Chain A
């Protein structure tokens, strides 16, 4: 679906509708409350929104009618913490990622836990094999005090790849019975040189998969852009113009050579390069990039597009992105031209089309 979009923001969930080339706000839900992630409706209209109430914790809501009405359902929660257990407290502080594969829902959280639900979020099951990995207590935070799972890429055959800040990428090929590191080839320039290629300390900001050719994955990393053509077994570094720092990546759903990124200056200065918003697009597997600016603010711009806030529709043509200062831009031609949403939204956490 390329005429409906969902924008999860610091102060509510905003539904947008496209009429011709123009996007407009159609509805706002959870007004005033932080919505950390949204999972768009399935064919039957069932969708989910994860809230992070400032005082009252993480909550999950389900709609059976594509966002018209909502009911609270179970939120992912960790089991009782054993006395002396190493690592962060066993308390879910954020639902950072949500995906579905068939009837299974996935939720990635801070602190570094993956949950599944097969009953529509009436209950959630912790992936204990990943949670019990001996490396997990040493995972570090990236942007937050505790580590978190921000990218979940499930396939129908039981393969699931997750991106962790900061613990690289992990993969299961047996539906979560066992897990292995899969960030080899990523490079961390923020570590001592001898540890730069340690897969366990990589900080992938976001990982996206080509739906039609799922062995192709793209990663916007803390200090670079990486691509894998073998399902994450090995990653190669790419070099984009302006900057290879950023948060967001969108993978073309059909063309494994095409992906989009939104560069920012660097980790010490998280704003667009020259305060001019741009999108980097490659259509040749990362060998080269085009920098797209048409319709985007080109002066006095401080908009940062966060890791879940660049989305591409199933057609590979319609894109949308939202910023930490509430800007939203849409493209109907693969990113060549962008149009600003005529609204000032709260800080954007996630944008999803569908």
Chain B
């Protein structure tokens, strides 16, 4: 199953689950995390549901490309990292 992890920087503000998920897209994986901690949503996504400009997601080492509808596909054993982009800091 895909594995989703968040930057430790987020733990200053809210809890970040480290989870295995049956999701097949990035959006589904994020929703699984938000179901555990709803507050996390607005740290990662803006009010339009888009990735925040200075949040970056890597899927098996590839930068996620669909930042608005979050349709990047996940393979069964993909590792997904939600990180802070250097552009924001």
Interface of A toward B, CB cutoff 8 Å: 53-57, 59, 72, 75, 77-81, 89-92
Contact = CB atoms under 8 A, between A and B. Distances in A.
A57 B52 contact: yes
B89 interface: yes
Contact of A90 (B43, B48, B55): B48
A81 B68 CA distance: 12
A89 B55 CA distance: 17
Taking chain A's interface residues, is the majority helix, strand, or loop, or is none over half, making it mixed? loop
B9 to A, nearest CB: 7
Interface of B: 9-10, 13-14, 39, 42-44, 46-48, 50, 52, 54-55, 84-85, 88-89
A55 B55 contact: yes
B47 A78 contact: yes
B39 to A, nearest CB: 7
B13 A57 contact: no
Nearest to A91: B46
B13 A56 contact: yes
B48 A91 contact: yes
A89 B49 CA distance: 12
Contact of A77 (B10, B47, B50, B89): B47
Contacts of A53: 13, 43
13 contacts: A53-B13, A53-B43, A55-B89, A56-B44, A56-B54, A57-B43, A59-B13, A75-B42, A79-B47, A80-B47, A81-B48, A91-B48, A92-B47
B54 A54 contact: yes
Nearest to B39: A72
B88 A54 contact: yes
A56 B89 CA distance: 11
B14 to A, nearest CB: 8
B21 to A, nearest CB: 22
Contacts of A90: 47-48
Given A78-B47, A90-B48, A57 B42 contact: yes
B48 A56 contact: no
B85 A55 contact: yes
A33 to B, nearest CB: 9
Contacts of B84: 55-56
Nearest to B89: A54
Nearest to B9: A55
Nearest to B43: A56
Interface centre among A54, A55, A75 (most CB of B within 10 A): A55
